[in-house]
Amino acid sequence: MLFALCFLLFMIGLYCTVAKKNMVKIVIGIMIMEYAVNLFLIMLGFRSGGTAPIIDRSYLEPGSVQITSGFLNSCVDPLPQALVLTAIVISLGSLALMISICIRTYEKYGTFDITSIRRLKG
Amino acid sequence: MSPAPLPVFVAVPLVAAFLLPIFGSFGKKGKAVATVLANVATASLLVLAFASIGRSEVYEIGKWSIPLGINLVLDGLSCLLLLVISVVSAAAMLFSARYMEQYTAKPKFLSLFLLMVAGMNGVVLSGDIFNLFVFLEIASIASYALVGFGCEHEELEASFKYMVLGSIGSLFILFAVAVVYGNTGTLNMAYISKAVASSGLNTGLTFALALFITGFGLKAALVPFHAWLPDAHPSAPAPISAMLSGVLIKALGVYALARVLFNVFGVSVQIGWLLIALGLISMIAGAFLAIGQWDFKRLLAYSSISQVGYVVLGIGLGATLIATESNPAWASLAILGGLFHLVNHAVYKSLLFLTSGSVEMATGTRQLKQMGGLAEKMPVTRACCTVASASIVGIPPFSGFFSKLILVVAAIQAHFYWLAAVIIFVSLCTLIMYLKVQRYVFLGELPENLQQIRENKGSMLIAMMTLACLCVLMGLLVIVPSLKVAILDPAVKVLTDGLEYSTRIIGG
């Protein structure tokens, strides 16, 4: 169910990107898609009632360096969180570039409306 | 001397890219130093790529063994792509040493250029699917910025369009990576392939496959997803157009698609037919749209769509033949044709874009109707353009002929006669468009306002002549058996082996 909602969010972002005429709204649409994917990644590793995947001394078997099965069964998956961090950094980079291109375009054309920014065709 | 470790291919351009902007603040001398440094970086990559022919190894980053860590994989296919990237980037960098004098902020340009090269090398070497995405984004973001580098009306518009479609493509790929991770619990391509082989394609993985095809299709500009290419490639500065059309769409699109389909998910008949269909539509639509263009670079950009269609067609034909378990030699031949066409197209299309840059720099226009009679004024550019045109059309001694011949033979051998007919038909369309280029740019009357133009000098000519020589000599790659065994055959074998990729990396 949650995954379906996540996919719905992705689709809303895609719709916004495709249907809107304002450059800034298109950028917002792309970011909604980005967040939908990030949310999806986080949910992959989520476990209700799970703990943070940090190994405490109490999670080690007494007298050895083995991790208890209690820890493995209760912690959330840390890998998707690392992936999301990377993805957020990348999306920050592309967002900054997109917004600066929008600003430069506005300086040249005096509008954000993509229907009137049409010098290229053919 | 022991061979260089694999991260060097990414590290050299990355380090150089971050050093170069510092020189920008030292005035004219700093600019010259930056130019030399950037050329040294691409030249050293060229040497490294040639030294890595025939090597095959797995490098584990930070000594973390897979599947815990990230690995870089060098095999025949990666090696072929590394060679192509380094040859084209060295030539384009040499060309831009002089060409980019007309723009401001040259060190920033060189820095973005090297970032793009670093990203592409990373995509080609990565053995981890999320890492592939990260490198793909590095290369894409650098290319978005480079397309808009001129900061004029058209450049900004094209850059925005490219960026929106490119970002959607990247997000589809990221989504697919997430779905794959959810279904297999690993991100290493070898382990994913093992998991897919043992469990088969379930619904989730099929969905991921569809997302991958859409995402990489957007990056490769195959026809339903091609809308950004004819705007983005002509708007970029000429050396960047050469890089984008020559290697970016192949490293990020075709290579990644082939790697994921053949080595990770495994091919099926449906996938093979899908690739053939995408290739055919791209070939025909690209060729028809190109004939109608009057902008020199826009014509070349549409022709790129058509030529990438050939590559995808060859690979798709191979996939179909592998999946139907017909004669393995037929499949190898089809894939050989596709990959060899990829290499050839990288060389002659980058040469064509460089000549278009040379013409644009001399005449100040890209409109075919405003030019004419440049053959006398610009003999070297004309000669290079003619060689590249002859090559792309497929006239016998030049490289394009051999790859098209292999594709036609492969199609006939596999009893797909109509495919062979389409390949030859599209070649005729290609002939028409390049006759148009020759007729309107180099032949005919010289307009009044262009009487004063002169041939460009120095590094631009050297870059163009080097690529022109390659166009003539590349046929040797299939004619001389030892070269074929060293360079092309290992690349074909990586794809025909399919899912054995995982056993080669994990072992056992």
Whether the Cβ atoms of residue A105 and residue A23 lie closer than 8 Å to each other: yes
Decide if B461 is inside a domain: yes
From CA B505, how far away is CA B485, in angstroms rounded? Answer: 22
Q: Which of B115, B164, B369 should one mutate to test binding to chain A, selecting the residue with the greatest count of A CBs within 10 A?
A: B164
Distance spanning both ends of chain B, measured CA to CA: 30
**Any B CB within 8 A of A89 CB:** no
Q: Does A81 touch chain B (CB under 8 A)?
A: no
Question: And the tokens for B298?
Answer: 């826009």
Top-confidence range, A49-63, B331-345, B434-448, B453-467: B331-345
Is B25 within the bounds of a domain? no
Say if strands B71-74 and B57-60 run parallel, antiparallel, or are unpaired: antiparallel
| A98 reaches B (C-beta below 8 A) | yes
On whether residue B113 sits in a domain, the answer given is no
- Determine contact, residues B334/B318, Cβ cutoff 8 Å: yes
Instruction: Report if residue A78 sits inside a domain.
Output: yes
Give the end-to-end CA distance of chain A in Å, rounded to a whole number: 44
Query: Is the pLDDT reported for residue B443 higher than 90?
Result: no
Q: Say whether pLDDT at B465 is over 90.
A: yes
Mean per-residue pLDDT, B19-36: 85
- Domain contains B104: no
Rounded distance between C-alpha atoms, residue B310 and residue B423, angstroms: 8
All residues of chain B having their beta carbon less than 8 Å from the beta carbon of residue A104 are: 148, 151, 156
Residues of B (234-253) whose Cβ lies below 8 Å from A: 235
Tokens coding B151: 């900061």
Which of B174, B180, B183, B229 is best to mutate for the A interface (most A CBs within 10 A)?
Answer: B174
Instruction: Say what percent of chain B tops pLDDT 90.
Output: 61
Put simply, the answer to whether B163 touches A97 (Cβ < 8 Å) is yes
Give the DSSP letter string of A24-83: HHHHHHHHHHHHHHHHHHHHHH--TT-B-S---GGGBPTTSSPBPHHHHHHBPPSHHHHH
Check CB contact under 8 Å for A120 and B157.
yes
Task: State the 10-residue block means of pLDDT for chain A, 122 residues long.
Answer: 90 94 94 94 85 77 74 83 93 94 92 83 60
Contacts of A9 in chain B (CB under 8 A): none
Domain that holds residue A63: 2-49+58-109
CB neighbourhood size of B22 (10 A): 13
Number of continuous H segments (helices) and E segments (strands) in chain B: 23, 2
**pLDDT at site B275:** 94
pLDDT digits (tens, 9 = 90+) for B337-366: 999 999 999 999 999 999 999 998 888 888
Distance CA B443, CA B378 (A): 11
* Contacts of B149 by beta carbon, 8 Å cutoff, 6+ apart: B103, B109, B112, B155, B236, B237, B240
| Contact of A60 with A93, CB cutoff 8 Å | no
Residue B440 to residue B435: CA distance in whole angstroms = 9
Q: Using the beta-carbon criterion (under 8 Å), do A97 and B187 form an inter-chain contact?
A: no
Predicted confidence band of residue B1 (pLDDT cuts 50, 70, 90): very low
Q: What is the pLDDT of residues B240-279, one digit of tens each?
A: 999 999 899 999 999 999 999 999 998 889 999 999 999 9
pLDDT surpasses 90 at B448: no
Residue B357 belongs to a domain: yes
Residue in chain A nearest B173 by alpha carbon: A37
B34 CB-near residues (< 8 Å, 6+ apart): B20, B23, B24, B106, B107, B110
Cross-chain CB nearest to B168 (options A17, A93, A98): A17
- The radius of gyration of chain A from alpha carbons, rounded to an integer in Å, stands at 22
CA distance A85 to A91: 10
What is the domain range of residue B254?
153-506
| Alpha carbon separation from A27 to A7, A31, B107, B163 (Å, rounded) | 19, 6, 29, 10
DSSP structure string for B268-287: -HHHHHHHHHHHHHHHHHHH
- Kindly state the DSSP code that residue B325 receives in the 8-state scheme: T
The answer to whether residue B328 neighbours chain A at the CB level (below 8 Å) is: no
CB distance from A85 to chain B under 8 Å?
Answer: no
Cβ–Cβ below 8 Å for B171 and A122: no
* Lowest-confidence region among B39-43, B190-194, B439-443, B449-453: B449-453
CB contact under 8 A, A105 and B160: yes
Q: If we measure between CA atoms, which residue out of B366, B355, B111 comes closest to residue B239?
A: B355
Q: How close B182 comes to chain A (CA, Å)?
A: 6
pLDDT recorded at residue A31:
95
Q: CA A31, CA A37: separation in Å to the nearest integer?
A: 10
pLDDT band of residue B427 (cuts 50, 70, 90) is: very high
CA distance B171 to B174: 5
| Mutate: best of A8, A11, A24, A83, partner B, most B CBs <10 A | A83
Among residues B251, B50, B266, the alpha carbon closest in space to that of B135 is found at B251
| Gap from B177 CA to chain A (nearest CA, Å) | 9
Nearest chain A residue to B178 by CA distance is A41
Phi, psi of B269 (to 5 degrees): -65, -40
- Supply the ipTM of this predicted assembly: 0.93
DSSP state of B225: G
CA of B156 vs chain A CAs: smallest distance (Å): 6
* Residue reference for tokens 């920033």: B108
Task: Give the domain CATH number at A20.
Answer: 1.10.287
Contacts 24+ apart (CB under 8 A), B67-71: B67/B186, B67/B187, B67/B188, B67/B191, B70/B126, B70/B127, B70/B128, B70/B131, B71/B127, B71/B128, B71/B188, B71/B505
Residue B144 lies in a domain: no
**pLDDT confidence of residue A122:** 55
Mean pLDDT for chain B overall:
90
Number of domains in chain A: 1
Most confident option among B133-137, B234-238, B395-399? B133-137
Which of B137, B157, B292 has the CB atom closest to A117's CB atom? B157
Q: Given CB atoms, is B174 within the 8 Å cutoff of chain A?
A: yes
Chain B nearest C-alpha distance from A102 (Å): 8
Give the closest of A40, A93, A102 to B178, CB-based. A40
- Cα separation, A30 vs A17, whole angstroms: 6
- Does the predicted TM-score (pTM) go above 0.90? yes
CB contact under 8 A, B156 and A101: yes
Nearest to A120 among B148, B171, B231 (CB): B231
Touching check for B230 and chain A: CB below 8 Å? yes
* 3-class secondary-structure state, position B56: coil
- Average pLDDT of span B59-81: 88
Residue B71 β-bridge partners: B60
Where residue B238 falls among pLDDT bands split at 50, 70, 90? very high
Chain B neighbors of A94, CB-CB under 8 A: 137, 141, 144, 163, 167, 170
Contact A97 B145 (CB under 8 A): yes
Closest CA to B91 of B238, B236, B219, B229: B238
Note the helical H segments in B100-152.
Answer: 106-125, 129-147
Min Cα distance B333 → chain A (Å) is 37
A44 touches chain B (CB under 8 A): yes
Chain A residues with CB under 8 Å of B141 CB are 90, 93-94, 97
Place of tokens 């190994």: A55
Contacts of B102 (CB under 8 A, 6+ apart): B361
Q: Does residue B411 carry a pLDDT above 80? A: yes
Classify the C-alpha dihedral B163-B166-B168-B174 as positive or negative: negative
Among the partner-chain residues B145, B156, B298, the one whose CB lies closest to the CB of A122 is: B298
Residue A114 lies in a domain: no
User: Does residue B223 lie within any of the structural domains?
Assistant: yes
Q: Is the dihedral of CA B72, B77, B83, B86 positive or negative?
A: negative
Structural domains of chain B, count: 1
Q: What angle do CA B302, B230, B141 make, to 5 degrees?
A: 130
Q: Which pLDDT belongs to residue B214?
A: 94
Cα dist. B458→B19, B86, B97, B119, B158 in Å?
26, 21, 9, 29, 31
Chain A nearest C-alpha distance from B387 (Å): 27
Best residue in A101, A106, A108 for a mutation probing chain B (most B CBs within 10 Å) = A101
Give CA–CA dist B352/B241, Å, rounded. Answer: 10
Q: Which residues of A touch B159 (CB under 8 A)?
A: 101
CA distance B340 to chain A (A): 31
Instruction: Determine whether the interchain pair A17/B164 forms a contact, defined as Cβ–Cβ distance below 8 Å.
Output: yes
